[in-house]
Amino acid sequence: MTSATERWKQWEGQLVDGKFRLRRWLASSGRSAVFLSEAPGTNATQTVIKLIPDDQEANSQISLWADAAKLSHPHLIRLFAHGRCAIDGAPLRYVVMEYAEENLGEIIPVRALSLDEALQMLRPTAEALAFLHHSGFVHSRLKPANVLAVGDKLKLSSDGLRRPAQVPRAALSTPYDAPEIGTAGYSPASDIWSLGTTLISVLTQTEPKNGQTTNDLNAALQRVPERLRRIVQDCLQNNPAERPTAEAIVQELSGQPVHRPAANEHVSAPTPERHLARQVIIPIVVVAALLIGVLIAVRSVNHRSAAPVSQTQPQSAPPDKSATSAPAPPTARSGVVSGNVLNRVMPDVSAGAEHTITGHIKINVEVNVDAAGKVSGTRLRTSGPSRYFSSRALAAARQWKFAPAQVNGNPVPSEWLLRFQFSRPGVQASSIELKP
């Protein structure tokens, strides 16, 4: 952990602007930190607060936060408050916003989205972009990590909104950015490029890289399902004027005829449509499959049957520390039979530690399993904000037992991802076989 992060973490418990308690550190970079918090006077049970240094660069950000807080759309993260504060003598600016439980960036290391899941993601994303563009904003930071789940809704982050034509600092650029933003600045068309690279990322499990060429993009496009390939290809046109508007993408997904601009045709700003004012509710089962279930139970990209899924303990009873589950029927694929979990051991957490939990703490552990089904090695993939809970998860993972995977009838070593979620009601655990 870097010294900058250590400094941020030391601020846990501080009160910001006399109103917002920094409950738990969640993430940080060299310039910002995000904490779990609470927002008095809002109907949100949990919020997050983002802190940035109060310097010249922050001035323009504050005015954008003020404008973004006035926006209201069912697929945009809400901003509740913003202002100026000081902690340990450091002058800071802050913004308070909705807390999101999951993001699409967490799925990419596990597997690609199916076509149906990508379509469920694409429409609300395009609707939110169309709303922003009509309101005079660009998202500017569209990528999988900024496509979020809040309860049963999919939402885009809104703390990084920009006005069109703003040119980003080089340090802020990402591989998802359109090639023209370094000179022309952000635009609705640059958001559409980012939407195209995001779709490639979630559909092919391949994130873009700096310096990628047209050939690289064309190769990735061939792996995109045909139903979405033309939309992605249109999003990635080198000429921004040839890219579709967000509204046109919504129309295409609705089966409406779409006018595609020629290279020399002026593209006007999108106009509001009735569907932009209508709240689009994603059924909770879809969001679970898209943003939560795929992280804990689905291995369809490898055509495997899932290992036993999330073992949610009843909230009225403490979690079983050593529950044994019956193995699911193995599935053969080209001589390979997936393994199964025979015995899962839940982390042993003290009552005092459980009392400190606000929301959920998620720890991911990768384990190596030998041909006899015993854990031979463990390592943290996601450590979370607490060393205590990480150590408890590792200790539990070492005690799991498995029915070994088989290749051509012979038991072989395997690799698994174990996901532990700590909350006050108890601990949940789930597993995904990564190899063979």
Q: Is 269 a domain residue?
A: yes
> Do 252 and 155 belong to one domain?
yes
Residue 21 DSSP SS3: strand
pLDDT value at 306 more than 50: no
- Mean pLDDT for 392-410 is 91
For residues 45 and 218, the model is more confident at 218
The pLDDT assigned to 26 comes to 85
The pLDDT assigned to 338 comes to 83
> Do 206 and 280 belong to one domain?
yes
The residue whose two tokens read 């839940």 is: 346
How confident is residue 132, by pLDDT bands cut at 50, 70 and 90?
very high
User: Whole-angstrom Cα distance, residue 230 to residue 402?
Assistant: 44
Q: Is 131 a domain residue?
A: yes
Identify which of 219, 250, 252, 251 has the alpha carbon closest to the alpha carbon of residue 236.
Answer: 219
Quote the percentage of the chain above a pLDDT of 70. 75
> Do 205 and 242 belong to one domain?
yes
Q: In this structure, which amino acid lies at residue 99?
A: Y
> Do 134 and 272 belong to one domain?
yes
For residues 427 and 360, the model is more confident at 427
Identify which of 54-68, 75-89, 319-333, 381-395 has the greatest average pLDDT: 75-89
pLDDT value at 375 more than 70: yes
pLDDT value at 336 more than 60: yes
- Mean pLDDT for 312-330 is 39
The pLDDT assigned to 3 comes to 63
- Mean pLDDT for 207-216 is 76
The pLDDT assigned to 421 comes to 86
> Do 342 and 430 belong to one domain?
yes
> Do 117 and 237 belong to one domain?
yes
Q: Is 257 a domain residue?
A: yes
Q: Is 423 a domain residue?
A: yes
Min mean pLDDT across 61-65, 107-111, 238-242, 312-316 is at 312-316
pLDDT value at 293 more than 80: no
Q: Is 122 a domain residue?
A: yes
**Sign of torsion, CA 226 275 99 428?**
negative
The residue whose two tokens read 């202002």 is: 83
Buried b (16+ CB within 10 A) or exposed e, 18-51: ebbbbbbbbebeeebbbbbbbbeeeebebbbbbb
Buried b (16+ CB within 10 A) or exposed e, 408-426: eeebbbbbbbbbbbbbebb
Choosing from 67, 98, 129, the residue where a domain stops is 98
Q: Do 53 and 38 contact (CB within 8 A), yes or no?
A: no
User: Whole-angstrom Cα distance, residue 211 to residue 72?
Assistant: 36
- Mean pLDDT for 232-258 is 89
Q: Is 116 a domain residue?
A: yes
Q: Is 57 a domain residue?
A: yes
156-191 per-position pLDDT tens digit: 999 999 999 887 765 567 889 999 998 899 999 999
pLDDT value at 131 more than 90: yes
Quote the percentage of the chain above a pLDDT of 90. 39
> Do 220 and 262 belong to one domain?
yes
- Write the CA distances from 258 to 123, 242, 248, 310, 326, integer angstroms: 15, 13, 6, 43, 52
Q: Do 436 and 412 contact (CB within 8 A), yes or no?
A: yes
- Cα Rg, the chain, nearest whole Å: 23
The pLDDT assigned to 41 comes to 66
User: Whole-angstrom Cα distance, residue 308 to residue 299?
Assistant: 12
> Do 424 and 389 belong to one domain?
yes
Look up the domain containing 127 and give its range. Answer: 102-284
pLDDT value at 318 more than 50: no
Q: Which residues are within 8 A (CB) of 136 and not within 5 positions of it... i.e. 6 or more apart?
A: 163, 164
- Mean pLDDT for 38-47 is 71
Choosing from 79, 98, 117, the residue where a domain stops is 98
> Do 133 and 82 belong to one domain?
no
The two tokens of residue 55 are 């310097």
> Do 315 and 410 belong to one domain?
yes
> Do 233 and 358 belong to one domain?
no
> Do 264 and 130 belong to one domain?
yes
Q: What is the CATH number of the domain that holds 82?
A: 3.30.200.20
What is the pLDDT of the chain when averaged over all its residues? 78
How confident is residue 425, by pLDDT bands cut at 50, 70 and 90?
confident
Q: What is the CATH number of the domain that holds 231?
A: 1.10.510.10
277-291 per-position pLDDT tens digit: 333 333 333 444 444
pLDDT value at 123 more than 50: yes
For residues 291 and 45, the model is more confident at 45
Check: pTM over 0.75? Answer yes or no.
no
| Sheet with 147-150, side-by-side order of all strands | 102-103, 147-150, 153-156
Domain count, the chain: 3
- Mean pLDDT for 410-420 is 91
pLDDT value at 432 more than 70: yes
The pLDDT assigned to 388 comes to 82
- Mean pLDDT for 14-40 is 85
pLDDT value at 386 more than 80: no
Choosing from 98, 133, 152, the residue where a domain stops is 98
Q: What is the CATH number of the domain that holds 418?
A: 3.30.2420.10
Residue 170 DSSP SS3: helix
For residues 384 and 351, the model is more confident at 351
Q: Is 65 a domain residue?
A: yes
